[in-house]
Amino acid sequence: MARRPILAVALLGAALCFLRFTAGTSFIAPKVQTTQNSVVETQQEQLKGVALGLGAGLLTAEPAYANVWDDEIFPYSVTISFAIIWGIILGFVLLRLQEAFPE
């Protein structure tokens, strides 16, 4: 019978049980009494989220001078195509050399 890591499984199970009982039973936050301050804080948090989302979109945007086709896709595709064709040509050259100089 194969040796099973019983201690590791038991520790993992204990950790999961501990997390289950300490974290609660719901993914939904409990209802909180709303006051004027909490409404303002909620609106500020929402605006922070919108600002962070817009900032992330602006930071990941390409610069105005970047042209993906001319700068990346076309040169790499031409290089790979040339390498493949050159490999085929060299393969035929080696075949002809083997025919020309039999052992």
Nearest alpha-carbon partner for 16 in 5, 8, 27 = 8
pLDDT digit string (tens) for 8-45? 778 878 887 777 777 666 666 666 666 667 777 888 88
Please say if the pLDDT value at position 81 is more than 90. Answer: yes
pLDDT score of 1 = 46
| DSSP symbols for 23-74 | H-S-SSPPP----HHHHHHHHHHHHHHHHHHHHHHHHHSPPTT--HIIIIIH
Nearest alpha-carbon partner for 52 in 62, 60, 40 = 60
